[in-house]
Structure 1
């Protein structure tokens, strides 16, 4: 079961780094430059990332998603 929407997966792909902490840092650093609707998407995505364990994050396949 995929916990992330297409939009969230694309956001993860853009800011993905070697660790969960770096990913979160990258998104948080970009927040002030995002449009309000993107900030909402980023906040929801960060909440989902925060809920993952390190093992779950390690298994997360981060890729650019296509809307089907």
Structure 2
């Protein structure tokens, strides 16, 4: 699964170390978004959809940027 830089940064911010934990944290974060924060909602939805298509083994191989 290919993630762009923005997606990887969002994943890094909310990662719990597991794929399902990350999905859970992103869903929680979405509860606090304001109605006008559509870009962040769309970004997080895209990440969640990609994470759902991955296996835990695939997620373990994701490399996060260093900066």
Q: Please give the TM-score of this superposition, normalised by the length of structure 1.
A: 0.81
| C-alpha spacing 1:46/1:64, structure 2 compared with 1 (3 Å) | farther
Stretches of structure 1 that go unaligned for 5 or more consecutive residues are: none
8 A contact 2:14–2:22 mirrored in 1: yes
**How many positions carry a matched residue from both structures?**
64
Which of structures 1 and 2 has the larger relative contact order (alpha carbons within 8 angstroms, sep 6+)? 1
Q: Deviations over 1:41-63 (max 9, x none)?
A: 00001111111111101111234
Q: Distance in 2 between matches of 1:10 and 1:3?
A: 13
Match of 1:18 in 2: 17
Match of 2:56 in 1: 54
Moved over 6 A (4+): none
Aligned Cα RMSD in Å?
1.6
Q: Distance in 2 between matches of 1:64 and 1:8?
A: 14
| C-alpha spacing 1:38/1:64, structure 2 compared with 1 (3 Å) | farther
Q: Distance in 2 between matches of 1:47 and 1:11?
A: 14
